[in-house]
Amino acid sequence: MVNWNNELGKVGYYLNNTFPLNLSPATRLVLILTLESGFYGDQNSVLEAMSEVAKNTLPFTIKANGLGVFVQESPVIYIRWVNNKNLTQVRQALSKELIERSRDNPTDSILGYQVNVNWVPKSTLAFKDSSYDTLPKALRILKPLFFDSILEVKKMALYEYAEGKPENQLVSISLNK
């Protein structure tokens, strides 16, 4: 098993010293695995949904499956995770809770929420701060690092994202122990 803190420290060090990348998860030595995104509305409803899922979920492990790149306006470089039964169950439970809260109380709704059928389990390393000119060099730097380790998932967190700003963790909820 690779020491993730050591490997992520290398990712942050190499890429931040080579490119002007905003690798906040790597530089903080925290991996963020996004379960759902792209919605807004009542924060309390989202927190209630997360709390319900967290209290019924034991910590579990996921295995990294190398690096990936989404081809968009600017390339998104990410760590790919193997989708397993536990991860699928957590995501399905969260989706169910969010849908119920959105449907049951329209005045307290979670606007814009719908299940993303194209979801990929990943942790973003570079987004909107990479370019196709720097992509080959970034991949050469990352190639010798190990992205095949196992990571224990112990918490769920709610983050707020705003254009041009680093993500902001609003709350962190421990999984049932």
Cβ pair 125, 15 in contact under 8 A: yes
* Residue 148: other Cβ atoms inside 10 A: 12
> Tokens 């420290």 — which residue?
9
Q: How much is the pLDDT for 55?
A: 95
Cβ pair 110, 45 in contact under 8 A: yes
Total domain count, the chain: 1
Range of the domain at 163: 4-174
pLDDT level of residue 3 (50, 70, 90 thresholds): very low
> Tokens 């019924």 — which residue?
56
CATH of the domain at 61: 3.90.1140.10
Tens of pLDDT along 6-34? 555 566 666 666 655 554 444 344 667 77
Collapse the DSSP code of 25 into the 3-class scheme (helix H, G, I; strand E, B; otherwise coil) and give the result.
helix
